[in-house]
Structure 1
Amino acid sequence: MNLREALPKISYVLQSSSNVVVLTGAGMSTESGIPDFRSNAGWWSDERLMNAMSVAYWDSHPDEFWVAFRKTFLSPEFVEARPNLGHHALAAFERTGGRHVTILTQNVDGLHQQAGSRVVLELHGNLRTATCPACGQVYDMRALPADETPVCTAYTVRGDCGHPLRPDVVLFGQQVQHYASAALSIQAADALFVLGSSMTVHPASQLPEFRVASKCPLVVINETETEIDAAADIVLRGKIGTLLPEVLASL
């Protein structure tokens, strides 16, 4: 479906909705300069890096883990990234549309919050903080040492904790976060938008199935085919930063 055909249909969906859920993937952030992970040239094409980003590797090799983690997630692409037109369009829609908007994101970059979105469930965690698994102390990622393995400096009944910290992103071998809340939000939604995700990553790929309860319309906007195109009511091909502002401006 092209944009001219889709605009009146999406406008009708949104004008009929008071509770909108938006599920976003890597394609939402690539236009901010953040590389994707799962394309042929993505970061996870390097199996050694993929294995290093596992909770098992952090547990057994914390020093090597933090070297690989900084190289990837604290790289200039992440640190210098800013919200793009798609992020800003969603935030503006929430502020001015008179609707409740819940964003479920597979991204860890925090760009939705930077743009001003208020209800954001980060399924794969975030880059803002790191936590001590031993005592639960939380640290601002920006305050951690830049060239050594960060350890917990909290004082416990046994003295200084000293345990290596773990970043608050979901590593391989860990469960996603907020999954039950995400499923409930879709069950109660009037409309579900999937933006910039091929819907191949489990278990986030199963979330649209929860719309069975609400029977809400499903709108997919992505540059390439997705696993849920056949189930969608409206499918648009293209860049989020180009299409989404025009779609939302048509209301």
Structure 2
Amino acid sequence: MKQINQLAKLISEAKSIVFLTGAGVSTASGIPDFRSTDGIWTEDRSREYYTSVDYYTKDPYDFWRKYKEIFQIKLLRNFQPNEVHNFIAELETQGKDISIVTQNVDSLHSLAGNKHVVEYHGNLNTATCPVCGAHYDLAYLMEHDVPVCTTTDCKTVVRPDIVLFGDPITKHSEAEMAIASSDLMLVLGTSLLVTPFSLLPSSAKQYGIPMAIVNRDPTPMDDLFDHVIHADLVAVVEQLKQLI
């Protein structure tokens, strides 16, 4: 495929690459795609309410029960990086300056070995007490149906370290800095439907760097990109590995 050959050439020649990644990167690891045409959110829009700041504030105990079910917390330790995560990590070991801005909350990019990962929506592996700031790891979250802060005299129900619906985004500036310091942008496995993440390709366009997107389905932002590939992401990565 001509587009894949061109993309392989861009990757080979680039010194600094920024990846914007979404749920499609993690589906090969068994993690559901929340926002594809047949994803979880389309099955039950109430999930947005149950993973919102408002619901955590209203009923933190039931929030945690639904949160663990929706994000399959019990299975989190079973998820491992797949061919796409490993491909990006290999580019870094080959000497390329790699930055990743990810919508995913599974921390698989870091587990694969990439060092500069901007977790745009936070991660599922930790939680923080909103009152005293104490931090808790996945092991503690797994031990308790409803994790409560153990700090003396606190006992507050902790909050997961993901961006809940209604939360502000705090990583946007860091993401834009990663884009500004790169000479190639690759967008992988995201529908680009969620703002302000969906605004990041426009930032890259302003810098005039080459831009490519690989996603199973068309996105509203496809016209911004120099190279657009609608195909299975793992299959595309396998072809790129043979060409680079």
Is structure 2 residue 68 aligned with structure 1 residue 56?
no
Q: What's the secondary structure of 1:175's corresponding residue?
A: coil
Q: Which moved more, 1:82-91 or 1:35-44?
A: 35-44
Q: Which residue of 1 aligns with 2:64?
A: 66
Cα separation, partners in 2 of 1:146 and 1:187, compared to 1, 3 Å = same
1:188·1:214 contact (CA, 8 Å) conserved in 2? no
Cα separation, partners in 2 of 1:218 and 1:233, compared to 1, 3 Å = same
Counterpart residue type for residue 234 of structure 2: G
Q: Which moved more, 1:51-60 or 1:144-153?
A: 144-153
Cα displacement string for residues 51-70 of structure 1 (whole angstroms, at most 9, x for unaligned residues): 11001110110011000011
Query: Among 74, 80, 83, which residue is 1:82 paired with?
Result: 80
Aligned-residue offset at 1:14: 2.3
Counterpart residue type for residue 179 of structure 2: I
Q: Which residue of 2 aligns with 1:124?
A: 121
Determine the C-alpha separation between the residues in 2 that align with 1:52 and 1:35.
17
1:91·1:115 contact (CA, 8 Å) conserved in 2? yes
TM-score using structure 2 length: 0.93
Q: Which moved more, 1:67-76 or 1:107-116?
A: 67-76
1:33·1:77 contact (CA, 8 Å) conserved in 2? no
Q: What's the secondary structure of 1:112's corresponding residue?
A: helix
1:56·1:173 contact (CA, 8 Å) conserved in 2? yes
Aligned-residue offset at 1:47: 2.5
Determine the C-alpha separation between the residues in 1 that align with 2:159 and 2:169.
15
Q: What's the secondary structure of 1:211's corresponding residue?
A: helix
Is structure 2 residue 172 aligned with structure 1 residue 172?
no
Counterpart residue type for residue 182 of structure 1: A
Determine the C-alpha separation between the residues in 2 that align with 1:121 and 1:110.
10
Cα displacement string for residues 95-147 of structure 1 (whole angstroms, at most 9, x for unaligned residues): 11x21000110000111111111111100100110000101111102223545
Is structure 2 residue 23 aligned with structure 1 residue 23?
no
Query: Among 208, 222, 231, which residue is 1:229 paired with?
Result: 222
Counterpart residue type for residue 90 of structure 1: I
Aligned-residue offset at 1:76: 4.9
Determine the C-alpha separation between the residues in 1 that align with 2:134 and 2:74.
27
1:222·1:240 contact (CA, 8 Å) conserved in 2? yes
Determine the C-alpha separation between the residues in 2 that align with 1:206 and 1:183.
10
Aligned-residue offset at 1:78: 3.6
Q: Which residue of 2 aligns with 1:10?
A: 7
Q: Which residue of 2 aligns with 1:243?
A: 236
Cα separation, partners in 2 of 1:8 and 1:89, compared to 1, 3 Å = same
TM-score using structure 1 length: 0.91
Counterpart residue type for residue 240 of structure 2: V
Aligned-residue offset at 1:43: 2.3
Identical amino acids, percent of aligned pairs? 37
Q: Which residue of 1 aligns with 2:200?
A: 207
Q: Which residue of 2 aligns with 1:105?
A: 102
Cα separation, partners in 2 of 1:153 and 1:147, compared to 1, 3 Å = closer
Determine the C-alpha separation between the residues in 1 that align with 2:145 and 2:93.
42
1:122·1:177 contact (CA, 8 Å) conserved in 2? no
Determine the C-alpha separation between the residues in 1 that align with 2:146 and 2:182.
43
Cα separation, partners in 2 of 1:78 and 1:239, compared to 1, 3 Å = farther
Determine the C-alpha separation between the residues in 2 that align with 1:134 and 1:76.
26
Aligned-residue offset at 1:201: 0.8
Runs of 5+ in structure 2 lacking a partner?
none
Determine the C-alpha separation between the residues in 2 that align with 1:231 and 1:140.
40
Counterpart residue type for residue 113 of structure 1: S
Counterpart residue type for residue 216 of structure 1: I
Cα displacement string for residues 24-47 of structure 1 (whole angstroms, at most 9, x for unaligned residues): 001101111111112354222312
Q: Which moved more, 1:78-87 or 1:4-13?
A: 4-13
Determine the C-alpha separation between the residues in 1 that align with 2:142 and 2:100.
32
Determine the C-alpha separation between the residues in 2 that align with 1:177 and 1:72.
23
